Structure formats: structure tokens, C-alpha cells
Amino acid sequence: MLQNPKYKILMIPIGDNLPSRSKPIVNYCLIGFNIAFFLWELKLDVAGEIGNLLNAWGLVPSRISTVISDAFTSNNPAAWIALVMVSSSLLSAIFLHSSFSHILGNMLFLFVFGKNVEGILGHGRYLVFYLICGLLTGVVQILAEPTLAMPLIGGNGAIASVLGAYLFSFPKAKIETILPLVIVFIPIELPALFYLFWWFVQQVFFGIGSLNVPGGVNPVGVAYWAHGVGLGMGAIWVWLMRRNADRKQTVNTL
């Protein structure tokens, strides 16, 4: 979303011009899980307990950095158990979102771009791809700002990886987009590459409709923008998959 006090421009991706290779069951399930978790967050927000959830399940770089330091500098086995427990936030944080714009923006991108990425990877590989890329971008966030004490949440890194894999696989694809102008909705087609830029633009507006989180969440800093590393991860993943497939085909033809 681009907006200033005088006007607002929205561009809503709704599909692409590519036929689906298979029914994107995993993609639909991921969207469903994210929405279910957000509804749970809304319930806790009304009860005034949302801060406890996000601090416990969100990715807090300083907490993980401290536990890692304790685990490697002490001989206490409990430190390693604590490391395993706090590291679980790398996964749980992927399914939490901080605002209505955050969940809507991410799920729209996942719906549009995820189905054909699942088609080329397959159901099981797509799930592994999504989770691993989400975990790795979390690690990058910790390395970027190891002293950050504010929770980082959202599937941005995983979805950025989906976008990177899509752009690498279908660089000439056209994205069916709705451009709302007052009460008129204008359908247009935009190059898939445009959404590489648009993904970064929408990060700025993920605070719109925020939950009431004490202390805040997802500061606009180095760690939050590290989600963009996922774009490269997605492209590299598909490139490696294609290279391995080409090698196997070459061996089979010898």
C-alpha cells in the first residue's frame, strides 16, 4: 500500500496467468493455519493477554543470543535444554502476525505465488521449503541484531522465499491485479517482477490495524528487513533443484 494524507493507492494481486499444475493443498493449509493463529491472537488481544503470547512465541534475538552464549560457556546441561526450548520460537514466530494489514498482505502473496511454487516442488517438498526458509530467515534476523529485545513475528521470510522461487521459475508471468479507485475496481495485469518491488513497499505498512502489543513488535530495523534474504533463498533452492534434476537426467541418458 502506498499512502499519504491526501490519497491512497492499493494494488491487490488476485491470481496469475499460469495454469495450476496440481491442487495446492499445502498452500491452502498454510493459509488456514496462519488465519487460525491470527484469530487466536485477536481473542487474546481482547483479553489483554496478547503480549504474553508474542513474547513467548515470537522470535526475540537477544533471548536466543543469551541462551546460546550460556550453552557454550557453561557446563550446565540445562542451558542446552533451554536453547532447544527458546529455539522453537524460530518456528512458532512464522505463524504469528502483528496486524490486519500484516496477515492480509502476507496471505494474499502466499495465495497468488504459493500455488505454482507448490506445483513445481510437490506437496511435501513445498512444506519443507516453506518451513526451512522461514527458519533460516529467522537465523539471519538474530545475526543481524543479536541484542534486539523486541519480538519479531510473521511469515515474511518464508513468503519472500516463495516469491523468490516464483520469480526464478516464472520470470515472464503476469499477475492479475485489482486497482481500486474510490468505488471502481479496475482489473489490470502486472509483471511478476513488479511484485519484487511491491513486497518491500508493503513492509512499511504492516503496522496498520495493529494489535495492542505492550512494548511493540517488529521494529523497522535491520533484523526486520532481513526477511528480504528469503527472496534469494527461494531462487537458490529452485536453482539447486533444477540442477540436480538435470544431473539425474544426464546420468539416465548415458
β-pairing verdict for 174-181 and 8-9:
unpaired
In the chain, what are the domain boundaries?
11-253
pLDDT over threshold 70, residue 22: yes
The answer to pTM > 0.75 is yes
Q: What pLDDT does 92 receive?
A: 95
- In this structure, which topology does domain 11-253 adopt according to CATH? Rhomboid-like fold (1.20.1540)
Q: What pLDDT does 1 receive?
A: 32
Cα separation values, 237 from 17, 136, 140, 242, Å: 23, 12, 17, 9
Residue 177 phi/psi, 5-degree rounding, is -130, 145
Tens-place pLDDT, residues 116-147: 999 999 999 999 999 999 999 999 999 999 99
pLDDT over threshold 80, residue 95: yes
Cα separation values, 24 from 29, 71, 111, 122, 164, Å: 9, 41, 9, 9, 18
Rounded to whole angstroms, the Cα distance separating 157 from 127 reads: 14
Rounded to whole angstroms, the Cα distance separating 104 from 107 reads: 5
Average pLDDT over the chain reads 85
Q: What pLDDT does 116 receive?
A: 94
DSSP 23: -
∠ Cα 45 148 58 (to 5°): 35
Q: What pLDDT does 224 receive?
A: 76
